[in-house]
Amino acid sequence: MGGVGKTTLAQLVYNDDRVQRRFQIKAWTFVSEDFNVFRVTKSILKSITNDQSKDDDLNWVQEKLKKQLSGKKFLLVLDDVWNENYEYWSIFSRPFGAGAPGSKIVVTTRNLRVPVNMGADQAYQLKELSNDDCLCLLTQISLGTGDFNIHPSLKEVGEKIVMKCKGLPLAAKTLGGLLRGKHDPRDWEFVLNTDIWNLPEENCNILPALGVSCHFLPPQLKQCFAYCSLFPKGYEFQEEEIISLWAAEGFLHQENSGRKMEDLGREFVQELLSRSFFQRSSKNASRFLMHDLINDLARWAAGGICFRLEYTLESENRQMFSQSLRHFSYIRGECDGGTRFDFIRGVQLLRTFLPMKLSDYGGDYLAWSVLQLLLDLPRLRVFSLCGYCNIIDLPNEIGNLKHLRFLNLSRTNIQILPQSINSLYNLHTILLEDCHRLKKLCKDMGNLTKLHHLRNSNVHSLEEMPKGFGKLTCLTTLCRFVVGKDSGSALRELKSLTNLEGTLEISSLENVKCVGDAIEAQLNRKVNLEAIVLRWCNRFCISNIRNEDAVDLETQTRVLDMLKPHQKLEELTITGYGGTKFPIWLGDFSFSKLVSLKFEYCGMCTSLPSVGQLPVLKHLEIRGMDRVKSVGLEFYGNSCSAPFPSLETLCFVNMQEWEEWIPRGSAQEVNEVFPKLRKLSLLRCSKLQGTLPERLLLLEKLVIQSWQNTRSPEIHDKPLKGKSKEMRKAKTMEEIKKFIMQKPCHKFSS
């Protein structure tokens, strides 16, 4: 039965600390009605290894999965399995025999024949909640307590409402969300007596309790919820994704309110979450999804306004299209041809064309005829070609879509944006993520004055931002700004982009020839940025610096000095920097929120930056600093305060010339260095000799690769847990040292 709590129970087991400790590998995947063996196998492999390859051979993918599971105890959850075909299961289960004894596969299903055909040891059939338990759940969500002691006048009507939930916790949760904060008995009686409870079953396949919860949503929120019916079952979405779509459709507009659409959108997401229409993903807490029954509810609420096309367009679906259709999504196939979308010709008021995908499998080709067809729909507001690799350019006619607000070209092979995009004055969002071949944006892009979001991360071929880019003063999201040489935007054009939020990467900083441009960029005034990446691309040889190179390196030193960010920044990465020293501001303790720092391939610096006095710094990574031979007092910072008071992870990688790590000050002070360090990584630091920091009292994880001749001090008898039998016996760093010397290249972890 749907809504009885199968997935919730599986989540509790999956996330339990005891389960975490017992299994070496854990994976969760959503299966749903379409049990595509390749898709599900690929999804499991990706969750284990973050595999991004485009393999399309089932046998190859299964061999890779088998290799990952070999000899390891794993826990796999297959959520919402429908297909009872034994042959499918037989093919799908091939890699799992490689796991260690004690490995487990948990399956949630509504079909009792599924566990039989899967050869399950035992099937646990969940029963409905008792009325008392259901009532407790309802009151906990609606009143914040497990009973009616504080609000006795609500008890009688509450008991009657619970009777209508029929023991389903999902129904009790959604009704509890509906009644949350309402203490007037009349509000509860109004919900009890609404006609929505009496919907005839033959006309509606949703739970009446869910229909009631949806019926009482505020109109604007109900509109946003109904739009979510475009998402396939099991689809996990980011908050920013759904908010951008709502904004593009005009659902977040509030006249004269003065509120930002994004703020209202976040409020709506949280409201739908609190009412149990949304739930957080088990795999990624930053993502959301809808229960299958809630997805059905959204489709019911949308009526004929929204339609989601599955893999095939069956004859009964054809009758559902009408002139009232406004929003259309579909599950991408391997090759989407024109006949699949013939019906669109008769839907002139279509506003949304949204391809969706549950995995990385398929969906690489869209027929050109479909693209031409879409460009004849002048009312389009949301237009996505995401993931279609055959898209290398766009017709200039795209400029005719004057109402377009959301354009998604992510993961296509487009190389140059057409100039006609400059006439799309209503554009609110452009997505260009992972467009690896994109070289140029369109000229005169400053005309798009309503543009709020330009997501262009992982667009490494982009040569420069066009001139006049600084006119886009409404931009809140800009993932990457590429400094131009001659014809492109100079760094100073960042000055007017005062509303930027989130993460900003500034690349090609070697093109900055005037220090004044760095001053004009005014990074210190962009107070809503949380993370900044400063990237240079230096191609000179360190051992043979020419005079003109020396001048350029001096410029880089001064440019970085002028790029001091605001003091609320949380993450900072500096990569490819060619200066010989780091600016003083890097170690300023006034950066009171800086938790993560990375320095990569800053090859001209002979010493590390003084960052030991940053008060909340938790993660520090230093990579490829080829001229650093000694890490000493300058690293800890010039202060009598204990250095690195909050640091939890410290990682050195590719420090080819690093020879010694000098402890700080007197023996008394040594005890105060790295008081919270939990993980220390030393990777490919082959010349390092001598001592390490002593008394790392909280150290849990030590990673060492290609490292010899180092004496490791004891850590005050604090155990360092390991996975190997020998490491389990080690209690001091001295004992660990002996083990290292027997096997010079190891990775130890708790």
Question: How far apart, in whole angstroms, are the C-alpha atoms of residue 602 and residue 542?
Answer: 11
Residue 141 has pLDDT above 50, yes or no: yes
Give the phi and the psi of residue 678 in degrees, each rounded to 5: -110, -25
| Segment among 202-206, 324-328, 713-717, 739-743 with least mean pLDDT | 713-717
Residue 555 has pLDDT above 50, yes or no: yes
Residue 678 has pLDDT above 80, yes or no: yes
Among 546, 670, 542, residue whose Cα is nearest residue 606: 542
pLDDT tens readout for residues 143-197: 888 888 888 899 888 888 888 888 888 888 888 888 888 888 888 888 888 766 7
Residue-level pLDDT at 730: 41
**For residues 521 and 496, is the Cβ–Cβ distance under 8 A?**
no
Burial grade of 101 (CB within 10 A; 0-12, 13-18, 19 or more): exposed
Residue 477 has pLDDT above 60, yes or no: yes
Residue-level pLDDT at 539: 63
pLDDT tens readout for residues 576-588: 999 989 999 998 8
**For residues 467 and 489, is the Cβ–Cβ distance under 8 A?**
yes
Residue-level pLDDT at 345: 77
Question: One-letter amino acid identity for 137?
Answer: L
Residue-level pLDDT at 700: 86
pLDDT tens readout for residues 691-715: 778 778 888 888 888 654 444 433 3
Residue 592 has pLDDT above 70, yes or no: yes
Residue-level pLDDT at 337: 79
pLDDT tens readout for residues 358-415: 765 555 788 888 888 888 888 999 999 999 989 999 999 999 999 999 999 999 999 9
Residue 562 has pLDDT above 50, yes or no: yes
Residue 690 has pLDDT above 80, yes or no: no
Q: How confident is the model at residue 206 (pLDDT cuts 50, 70, 90)?
A: low
pLDDT tens readout for residues 493-503: 999 999 999 99
pTM above 0.75, yes or no: yes
Q: How confident is the model at residue 321 (pLDDT cuts 50, 70, 90)?
A: low
Residue 93 has pLDDT above 90, yes or no: no
Question: How far apart, in whole angstroms, are the C-alpha atoms of residue 479 and residue 473?
Answer: 15
Residue 739 has pLDDT above 60, yes or no: no
Question: How far apart, in whole angstroms, are the C-alpha atoms of residue 433 and residue 429?
Answer: 12
Question: How far apart, in whole angstroms, are the C-alpha atoms of residue 63 and residue 39?
Answer: 15
| pLDDT, average across residues 568-574 | 97
CA 421 to chain centre: 28
**For residues 166 and 269, is the Cβ–Cβ distance under 8 A?**
no
Residue-level pLDDT at 256: 66
